[in-house]
């Protein structure tokens, strides 16, 4: 039996992050409604559309390009700052979360290549 691949668990982390981000985006609707002059139709469509795209991205969470797609979504979210500031703030916050996740994945892959993960250590009992 071969050792489990630690990078496979990254798919679960990506999936959980996308779900959390979609839920937070939907919860931003009341905030957007209270800011400024209320919720315009296009603002609701923007926030709802981004939440829908985040939920749809859960279906491709195992693909190697999902992090690039998430980065593209965050560029759109941050660019939306000028239209809906709450969405821009969420884009920055979750952009930092994705940056941390990508760094952790890179660190695990590096340690795995070097043979320094606990599961790769030989037990000499």
Q: What is the pLDDT of residues 27-65, one digit of tens each?
A: 988 877 887 677 788 888 888 999 999 999 888 877 878
pLDDT-derived band of residue 118, with 50, 70 and 90 as boundaries? confident
Is pTM, for the whole model, over 0.85? no
DSSP per-residue codes, 79-94? HGGGT-HHHHHHHHHH
Going from the C-alpha of 106 to that of each of 23, 43, 57, 110, the distances in angstroms are 27, 36, 21, 6
pLDDT at residue 12, as a whole number: 86
Q: What Rg, from alpha-carbon coordinates, does the chain have?
A: 18
User: At residue 22, does pLDDT exceed 90?
Assistant: yes
Residue 12 has which token pair? 């679960």
């Amino acid at each position: 039996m071969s050792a489990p691949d630690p990078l496979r668990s990254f798919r679960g982390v990506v999936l959980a992050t996308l779900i959390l981000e979609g839920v937070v985006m939907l919860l931003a609707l009341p905030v957007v409604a209270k800011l400024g002059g209320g919720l315009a139709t296009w603002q609701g469509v923007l926030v709802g559309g981004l939440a829908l795209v985040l939920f749809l991205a859960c279906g491709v969470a195992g693909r190697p390009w999902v992090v690039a797609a998430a980065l593209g979504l965050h560029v759109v979210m941050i660019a939306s700052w000028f239209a809906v500031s709450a969405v821009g703030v969420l884009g920055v916050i979750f952009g930092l979360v994705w940056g941390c996740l990508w760094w952790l994945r890179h660190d695990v892959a590096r340690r795995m290549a070097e043979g320094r993960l606990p599961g790769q250590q030989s037990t000499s009992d």
